[in-house]
């Protein structure tokens, strides 16, 4: 008789290589785990068997009730600056790292359960999650992936059969999340703040072997590792800004070493272009406003630099500060380079020009002054490249305010001499028509709280192909109606 192969082929390097960096733990027992969403394409990419997991047994695993063969569930410890204030110990207060798998592309991927119950790091919380925030993270993560932005992704969403109290009773849920790793800036801060240099050294070498293995034998690997993380974060911030994404809670414990977007709590996408847009109910001072995100990323990287100083130049702290400071000072240039390249692509421009930064800022200023929808404008500009600017102009209260920018843009396009149809096709390939519009997300989550998951499934299907316009989906391309009112998001903890 042939033995049934295990559902997961785990290879748990974090548990194996980093003792003292976590506590082993198990998920809370819940009464009725039930799969409500399962990401079969992602499961296949991870080398898993969708048929074996899209089952009641899979629901029990993803709820944390059943431990699959080879798993080593653990809660990771880390620290973090939260809204600028340092918390020396945070950690996975409602999550468990189930284990790691090697996917079909040879990449190591974490599988984590979020909302699986209290851990020693719960800080008085119940460690649970409810259906709304779980599905928000599922939706936004998959949308970001389809937009080409590095992100954690959802493998499954499970209801637990219990009611959790969050300003009233809500259906309990668990998210199975996949990441390149869950190493954060805050992970390094935890050991640096405690003066545990040996563990910090071990952690940095582990992170390098996992994310930058070509640096493993380099004597300057810790400085070069910081350089790589800085480069990844600069690229990520540009991608966020280019699609109008607001994370909402860019604490250092939500800043990854891998350069993936993580922890979709009070996140949102802007409708009208507004550099000061804030949606999070707890961001009272606008620390994490839309246009401030690159600045905050650099601030977070400065905290990583501080944590790494003892490794970068152990015998000469002044030299370590200078070396790390030089790398950190590159961030604005790195970010601007990615953002300028992305803006040229959004405008169908192939070549760089000396005045690009000023031109792009002038265009965005006009958009901000007139409250123009960010996504719709750049999508409509594709038609303008073919000589039909009416849709783009119609988005402005005073269309004549756009005309000087249109004229300068047309002059740039004419100088490049590309066929208008080619310009438009390139623009449409980078300017989405469908993003997770906040009102559509809220409508879907409200239905899910009542047990109707069809709107969530429909929204996921639309967002799977954000650049391809399809019939009968006009409602998914429109901003919120006036009756939607000012939008506010919550952490969901």
Q: Is the dihedral of CA 481, 484, 486, 491 positive or negative?
A: negative
- Catalytic: 253? yes
Candidates 253, 271, 283, 428; catalytic one: 253
The residues that are catalytic are 253
């Amino acid at each position: 008789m042939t033995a049934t192969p295990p559902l997961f082929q785990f290879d748990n390097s974090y548990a194996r290589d980093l003792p003292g960096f976590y506590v082993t733990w198990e998920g809370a027992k819940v009464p009725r785990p039930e799969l409500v969403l399962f990401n079969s394409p992602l499961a296949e990419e991870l080398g898993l068997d969708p048929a074996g997991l899209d089952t009641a047994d899979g629901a029990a695993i993803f709820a944390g009730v059943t431990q699959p063969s080879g798993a080593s569930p653990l809660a990771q410890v880390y620290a973090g600056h939260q809204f600028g204030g340092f918390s020396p110990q945070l950690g996975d207060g409602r999550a468990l790292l189930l284990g790691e798998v090697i996917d079909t592309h040879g990449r190591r991927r974490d599988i984590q359960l979020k909302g699986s119950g209290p851990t020693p790091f719960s800080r008085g919380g119940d460690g649970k999650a409810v259906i709304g925030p779980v599905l928000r993270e599922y939706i936004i993560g998959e949308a970001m992936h389809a937009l080409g932005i590095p992100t954690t992704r959802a493998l499954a969403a499970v209801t637990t059969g219990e009611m959790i109290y969050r300003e009233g009773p809500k259906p309990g849920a668990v998210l199975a999340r996949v990441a390149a790793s869950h190493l954060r800036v805050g992970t390094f801060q935890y050991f640096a703040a405690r003066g545990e240099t040996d563990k910090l050294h071990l952690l940095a070498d582990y992170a390098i072997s996992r994310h930058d293995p070509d640096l493993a034998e380099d004597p300057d690997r810790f400085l070069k590792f910081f350089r790589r993380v800085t480069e990844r974060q600069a690229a990520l911030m540009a991608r966020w800004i280019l699609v109008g994404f607001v994370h909402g809670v860019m604490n250092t414990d939500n800043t990854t070493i891998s350069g993936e977007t993580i922890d979709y709590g009070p996140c949102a996408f802007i409708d009208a272009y507004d550099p000061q847009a804030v949606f999070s109910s707890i961001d009272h001072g606008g620390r994490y406003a839309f246009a401030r995100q690159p600045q905050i990323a650099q601030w977070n990287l400065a905290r990583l630099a501080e944590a790494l100083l003892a490794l970068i130049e152990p015998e000469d702290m002044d030299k370590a500060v200078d070396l790390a400071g030089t790398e950190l000072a590159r961030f604005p240039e790195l970010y601007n380079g990615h953002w300028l390249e992305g803006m040229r692509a959004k405008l169908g421009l192939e070549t760089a020009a000396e005045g690009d930064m000023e031109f792009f800022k002038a265009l965005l200023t006009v958009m901000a002054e007139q409250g123009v929808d960010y996504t719709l404008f750049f999508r409509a500009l594709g038609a303008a490249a073919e000589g039909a600017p009416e849709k783009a102009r119609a988005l402005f209260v005073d269309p004549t305010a756009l005309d000087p920018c249109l004229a300068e843009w047309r002059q740039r396009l004419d100088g490049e001499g590309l066929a208008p149809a080619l310009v438009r096709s390139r623009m449409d390939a980078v300017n989405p028509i469908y993003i997770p519009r906040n009102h559509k997300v809220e409508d879907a989550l409200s239905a899910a709280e009542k047990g109707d998951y069809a709107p969530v499934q429909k929204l996921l299907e639309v967002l799977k192909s954000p650049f391809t316009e399809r019939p009968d989906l006009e409602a998914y391309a429109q901003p919120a109606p006036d009756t939607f009112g000012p939008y506010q998001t919550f952490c969901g903890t």
